[in-house]
Amino acid sequence: MNEVENPYLPKIAILDRVVDEIKDVRTFYWHFEDQNEQLKFKNFLPGQFAQISVFGIGEFPASLPPSPTEEETFFTIRTVGSCTDAFHKMKAGEKFAVRGPYGNGFKMDSYAGKNLIFVAGGIGLIPLRSCIIYALENRQKYERIQIFYGSRTPAELMYTNDLKKWGQSAGIECYLTVDRATDGWKGNVGVVGSLFKKPNVQMAIKNSIAFVCGPPVMFRFVIKDLLEMGFNEEDIVSTLERYMKCGIGKCGHCCIGSAYVCVDGPVFTYKQIKKLGEDI
């Protein structure tokens, strides 16, 4: 009789290196101690998440920003409490634990033949990075790819190396903005939705899927803009953030209406979000 794997049992991981992104946000590159676990984990979908355990402190959920097409695995974490703060203090070679991946993820295969529009604000780029890299690695599957990304200041732009590559790529349109310019910034100044109205921007609306992730105030205004431009509610997708403790729909901690964010999400269409009565 085959032994049933304990879904609550995390697997030992080893930290390889840490890269500073912006204030209070770092990217942690890591690998599983057991190579078989590493191979199994690589089957995750863009938009899924995992649970990170810091020994002696606790556990917290985290998005998976790498694409399954990339070799390295990593988390990009903002410090917001005791667990994430302890994780930020870890050094290369130290051990922690990971379980997952969990959640439904973005249905990237079902978007084949469509235009992909990514709209992100601040650290909202973290969960969308996986989709963007996946789409670029499978460029032949999709039509136009447009990225609209904004932050409060130039110093708070995430993944600057990726942004530079995307901005220089012939197969993608990447538009950036900041709320407040600083010395040396020559780009757009304004909220991310202001990019939609720029004379040099021809936004794809028909046959498009819009991915939207960012702070609540950004989300509300961007959704309003997209709906006014003619997007359907079911063609706008996002991720809901909740403190998901078990990750497998048992504890009820992330329940919203009739849905469990950890298993029914974290990816939902805007139409589904409205039905849940969720005020993002």
**What is the sign, positive or negative, of the torsion defined by CA atoms of 75, 18, 216, 221?**
negative
Query: What per-residue confidence (pLDDT) applies to 138?
Result: 95
pLDDT at 256: 83
Sheet holding 208-213, edge to edge: 188-189, 173-178, 145-151, 115-121, 208-213, 236-239, 267-269
What's the pLDDT at 1? 45
Q: pLDDT tens digits for the chain (280 residues)?
A: 456 678 788 999 999 999 999 999 999 999 999 999 998 898 899 999 999 999 999 999 999 999 999 999 999 999 999 999 999 999 999 999 999 999 999 999 999 999 999 999 999 999 999 999 999 999 999 999 999 999 999 999 999 999 999 999 888 999 999 999 998 899 999 999 999 999 989 998 999 999 999 999 999 999 999 999 999 999 999 998 777 888 888 888 888 888 888 888 899 999 999 888 755 5
- Pairwise CA distance, residues 143 & 7, whole Å: 39
Pairing of strands 173-178, 188-189: parallel
CB 135 within 8 A of CB 277: no
For residues 124 and 238, what is the distance between their CA atoms, to the nearest angstrom?
10
Per-residue pLDDT, 279: 57
CATH 2.40.128 corresponds to the domain 240-280 = no
- Quick check: do 11-102 and 108-238 share a fold? no
Query: From CA 48, how far away is CA 15, in angstroms rounded?
Result: 20
Specify the pLDDT at position 280: 54
Other CB atoms within 10 Å distance of the CB of residue 265: 26
- Alpha-carbon gap, residue 29 to 16, rounded angstroms: 5
Tokens 């899924």 — which residue? Answer: 48
The CATH classification of domain 108-238, taken from the options 3.40.50.80, 3.40.50.150, 1.20.1440.230, 3.40.630.30: 3.40.50.80
Q: What is the pLDDT of residue 145?
A: 97
pLDDT for position 7: 79
Torsion of CA 222, 225, 231, 232, to 10 degrees: 70
Where along the chain do its domains lie?
11-102, 108-238, 240-280
pLDDT at site 171: 83
CATH code assigned to 11-102: 2.40.30.10
Residues in the chain: 280
Q: Can you say whether residue 27 is alpha, beta or left, with left for phi > 0 and alpha for psi between -120 and 50 degrees?
A: beta
The residues, any chain, with a CB within 8 Å of residue 50's CB and separated by 6 or more, are 44, 61, 62, 64, 75, 98, 99, 100, 101, 102
Radius of gyration of the chain (CA): 19
